[in-house]
Structure 1
Amino acid sequence: MVASHTYDEIISQPDALKQTLQMVKEQRFHEKDPDLTVFSGCGTSYYLAVSAARFFQEVTGKPALAVPASEVILHPEQVFAKGLKYQLVIISRSGTTSEAVAACKTIAGRKEIGVMAVTCHAGSALARLAAESIVLDHIKEKSVVMTQSFTNMLYALQLYSAKTSQNDRIWNELTRLPEQMDQVIGQLPQIRELAENLQYRRFIFLGSGVLTGIAREATLKLKEMTQTECESYSTLEFRHGPISIVDDRTAVILFTSEKTKELDAPLMEEIRSFGGHAVAVGHCADQVSADTALVIETDLSGSCQAILLLPHFQMLAYCRAVKLGLNPDQPRNLNQVVKISIGE
């Protein structure tokens, strides 16, 4: 492998997860009982919010949704209804993303909305504006693209969901995740052949439930690092029009699970019948009629497995960028932090 910050940040995720676990284990959180918890961010952090909101609602039994931070700024009345109490969980690696900071300022002074920041930088503007924060200051990415930060901020929010709802079963499962990530990192060379096959000009990522956000983030990673044509869809929605783009230059990567495998298999068969290369990633990937099955060996249940799927598509994007002669650490037109002028 070509030496790069991105590569190092992908393969070192098990140790980072162990530190995140210890940090959340020791942190005490404010007691709160909102009518709705809103997870928000921009770009990768928004897709993280999508998965975190689905996980939070499943684990706690309390309503949650995800919105882009820009929606909080532009349409707060469509995000926050009158007469309800909210918890806004705002996510930003740097803690300085313009829309994330502006979202906090937009709702400042509204006593019915509590704010928690999730960031990798202590003392950042976002951390200062929030009533409480999860700060993962052991995550210090040098690459422009978010890999290890996405994994760890999502993991922190999963732990937060289990801890604050006193869901001991889920908490105990999540504590085993860093050790199992070691095994996943060892499997990553399997993705290289697919990544380097330039016959495939189009990549589609499919997932449902918590994996919806994972599929969106997989699309963004590949698009950022390689500028490859790629899209993401909720799994069964793919049949409703988008499947028309499948041909022999299309690779469709489906994040599968025990809960969805019976419906995933016929879709994989359809994709193959149209000439597409069907790839499945997950614990039961070898049970859904895929051309390529990347099986994740794990005893974790359901949504707790989601984070174990992340390194595969991160490495897919890295390997393809290297094959194309691109710099995965510094994709074109991008910077680590997006800052724009937003009127006060």
Structure 2
Amino acid sequence: MCGIIGRVGTGDAIDTLLTGLENLEYRGYDSAGVAVQNGAGIKVQKRSGKVSELKNKIDASVLEGQVGIGHTRWSTHGPPTDANAHPHTDSTTDVAVVHNGIIENYIELKEQLAAAGHEFTSDTDTEVIPHLVQHYLDQGWDSERAFRTAIDELQGSYAVAVMISGEHVIYAARRGSPLVIGMEDNEFFLASDIPAFLEETNDVIYLEDGDVVVLEPEGYRITDLEGTPVSRETDTVDWDPEDAGKGEYDHYMRKEIHSQPTSLANTIEGRVADGEVDLEEFPAGAFADVDAVQFVACGTSYHAAMYGEWLLREANVRTAVHRASEYDSSVGPIDEHTLVVAVTQSGETADTLAAVREAKARGARTVAVTNVVGSTAAREADDALYIRAGPEIGVAATKTFSSQSVTLALLTQRIAADIPDAAPIDDLDAMLESLSDLPDQVESVVETSRAGELAERYLESRAFFFIGRGLGHAVALEGALKFKEITYEHAEGFTAGELKHGPLALVTEETPVFSVFTGGGDEAVQTNATEAQSRGAPIVTVAPDDHQAVGTGDAHLSIPDTHPVWAGLLANVQLQLLSYHAANELGRPIDKPRNLAKSVTVE
């Protein structure tokens, strides 16, 4: 969840480092810092709080150098204080380190180093790394050997970048946490995520677990831990640097809601032909040996996975959806005829990666549905299917949920076409024809939405309930998640029929109920909404203008008429806007909600 940026080249590195940290703010953090050197020594500046506060503290006349590393920290060991902020150094400030992940054996290492005379000044697990490197330097070992030996002693997960005084070099390694190299002419970058340096280059190399890299002004070397050279391909990401900025919008989330027509068009392009699903990654027969499908995901991706699970179940395919964090205890029997579909926007979600590894260990075939080419999930799964949504910066996922859901809907129909005794949806032609209209319909929702008015009307409510059935249930859960994520108000999503099995006790005139109508199971949704309304709850119908429920509700969020598979995604856009406007009225930090991070890379 923390962010790393590193740079080796000519000219001063500090501006690049600070820009990189600003570009990584979306990952969630509570402190920030940088370390630079020009050959005469390492200078460090760090503090708790925002990157903007760090920038104000920096004296450019003192803090300058051609090589540097920076970090945004999400607290795991020790509170967010200046002392606990990264970079961390050894006692002599000859070694500076930034680190993502968790060092599981840090207490043992710290005790050993303290016994040898090393003094520690923070509560973090990270601080053992510079002291460990210095321990081996003090024995007369060269820098690279000292670094490799120190890394070899670490247990746990890490992405580590290290500078050593007097050297124009960054040493780095990864295991379990993402790390990527960027290249542009005579400059080389290192980061935990591409947006950190996207303004500088889109030529990247994704490091893999066990990789060790040495970045120098003349180039880079990648080896394994023993020093054996390894080859990693260079990829060119097709993300535009402008996609990673806010542009004319006040918040990334607002921009990303409004960009859904474009991201959906990219998701759909080339994947429907002659009334059939056409996925070049999976030609006809690709799933002929599959007899069961499991989806694994977390958070918003889990709600998208529910879309896939529902559609496969309707196609008579044995299927289940699992929260990735519970997969190892809930999976049940699987074998080589089981397909496990991992849904992860970043491709780096730790719980989802653990589920993929568990599935592969049990012999299952795996597919990653992700947004990031070359991500760990894409590399480790047997196959990858990309959602093509472009970079998403806001912590609260919006456009990626839409693109994930569409991608999974197409994938499920491709799977169902191959499995004996299964069948794609009855009106596949109509479903796919309606899909071509989805981007324009989303744009219509964004341009005409009255969600801002309703957010203001119900702002003083004590709780917010969201209900739906079938695909609408996934949307209700997602709507509630968005609302609680960025407003900090109490919100819950339910399948409509569950209201009367407990939650109805909480319903009052201060509990608006947002009812999602998708064209499937709508009668039950209306019945349960009416039951809540009879207890005083205001009912907001999320449905087409001509839907019968509109006249019985207290307010209405309109969606265009479309196929029932896509109606929920249009309803979801209205609920995204509702959450956004409510959070904005409340003055919440919309793009950086408290306690949350974009990429959850620790279990």
TM-score scaled by structure 2?
0.53
Partner in structure 2 of residue 180 of structure 1:
441
Q: Is the 8 A contact 1:286 1:295 kept in 2?
A: no
Q: Is the 8 A contact 1:251 1:278 kept in 2?
A: yes
The answer to whether the aligner puts 1:7 opposite 2:259 as a matched pair is no
Q: Which runs of 5+ in 2 are unaligned?
A: 1-247, 273-278, 418-423
Partner in structure 1 of residue 317 of structure 2:
62
The answer to whether the aligner puts 1:309 opposite 2:571 as a matched pair is yes
Q: Is the 8 A contact 1:35 1:84 kept in 2?
A: no
Give the superposition deviation at 1:83. Answer: 6.1
What is the identity, as a one-letter code, of the residue corresponding to 2:257? Answer: I
Q: Is the 8 A contact 1:24 1:160 kept in 2?
A: no
**C-alpha distance in 1 between matches for 2:555 and 2:437:** 27
**C-alpha distance in 2 between matches for 1:90 and 1:240:** 32
Give the superposition deviation at 1:137. Answer: 4.3
Q: For 2:454, which of 171, 188, 194 is the aligned residue?
A: 194
The answer to whether the aligner puts 1:147 opposite 2:398 as a matched pair is yes
**5 Å matches for 1:1-344?**
3-22=250-269, 24-25=271-272, 27-29=280-282, 31-32=286-287, 33-58=289-314, 60-73=315-328, 75=329, 78-81=330-333, 85-111=337-363, 113-165=364-416, 167=424, 168-169=428-429, 170-188=431-449, 190-197=450-457, 198-283=459-544, 286-288=547-549, 289-298=552-561, 300-341=562-603
Q: Is the 8 A contact 1:258 1:284 kept in 2?
A: no
**C-alpha distance in 1 between matches for 2:488 and 2:307:** 24
What is the identity, as a one-letter code, of the residue corresponding to 1:297? Answer: P
Q: Is the 8 A contact 2:468 2:494 kept in 1?
A: yes
**C-alpha distance in 2 between matches for 1:92 and 1:82:** 21
Residue 250 of structure 1: SS of its match in structure 2? coil
Residue 247 of structure 1: SS of its match in structure 2? coil
**1:55–1:82 CA distance, 2 compared to 1 (3 A):** closer
**C-alpha distance in 2 between matches for 1:156 and 1:123:** 18
**C-alpha distance in 1 between matches for 2:292 and 2:546:** 34
Higher helix share: 1
Q: Is the 8 A contact 2:359 2:366 kept in 1?
A: no
Give the superposition deviation at 1:286. Answer: 4.5
**C-alpha distance in 2 between matches for 1:34 and 1:285:** 42
Give the superposition deviation at 1:314. Answer: 0.6
TM-score scaled by structure 1?
0.90
Deviation digits for residues 183-219 of structure 1 (CA, Å, limit 9, x no counterpart):
222222x111221232212100101111111111111
Give the superposition deviation at 1:108. Answer: 2.4
Q: Which runs of 5+ in 1 are unaligned?
A: none
Give the superposition deviation at 1:274. Answer: 1.6
Give the superposition deviation at 1:136. Answer: 3.0
What is the identity, as a one-letter code, of the residue corresponding to 2:454? Answer: L
**1:307–1:82 CA distance, 2 compared to 1 (3 A):** closer
**C-alpha distance in 1 between matches for 2:270 and 2:342:** 19
Deviation digits for residues 135-193 of structure 1 (CA, Å, limit 9, x no counterpart):
234420111110011111111111222344455423333233222222222222x1112
Larger radius of gyration: 2
Q: Is the 8 A contact 2:307 2:408 kept in 1?
A: no
**C-alpha distance in 1 between matches for 2:592 and 2:316:** 41
**C-alpha distance in 1 between matches for 2:369 and 2:518:** 28
**1:270–1:95 CA distance, 2 compared to 1 (3 A):** same
**C-alpha distance in 2 between matches for 1:222 and 1:301:** 26
Comparing 164-173 and 309-318, the one that deviates more: 164-173
**1:23–1:150 CA distance, 2 compared to 1 (3 A):** farther
**1:303–1:136 CA distance, 2 compared to 1 (3 A):** closer
**C-alpha distance in 2 between matches for 1:172 and 1:57:** 22
**C-alpha distance in 2 between matches for 1:162 and 1:283:** 26
Give the superposition deviation at 1:334. Answer: 0.9
What is the identity, as a one-letter code, of the residue corresponding to 1:72? Answer: Y
What is the identity, as a one-letter code, of the residue corresponding to 2:280? Answer: Q
Q: Is the 8 A contact 1:280 1:286 kept in 2?
A: no
Q: Is the 8 A contact 2:517 2:568 kept in 1?
A: no
**C-alpha distance in 2 between matches for 1:134 and 1:55:** 18
What is the identity, as a one-letter code, of the residue corresponding to 2:574? Answer: H
Higher strand share: 2
Q: Is the 8 A contact 1:286 1:294 kept in 2?
A: no
**1:272–1:133 CA distance, 2 compared to 1 (3 A):** same
Q: Is the 8 A contact 1:6 1:145 kept in 2?
A: yes
Q: Is the 8 A contact 2:389 2:399 kept in 1?
A: no
Q: Is the 8 A contact 1:163 1:171 kept in 2?
A: no
Residue 212 of structure 1: SS of its match in structure 2? helix
Partner in structure 1 of residue 135 of structure 2:
none
Q: Is the 8 A contact 1:206 1:234 kept in 2?
A: yes
Report how many aligned residue pairs link the two structures.
334
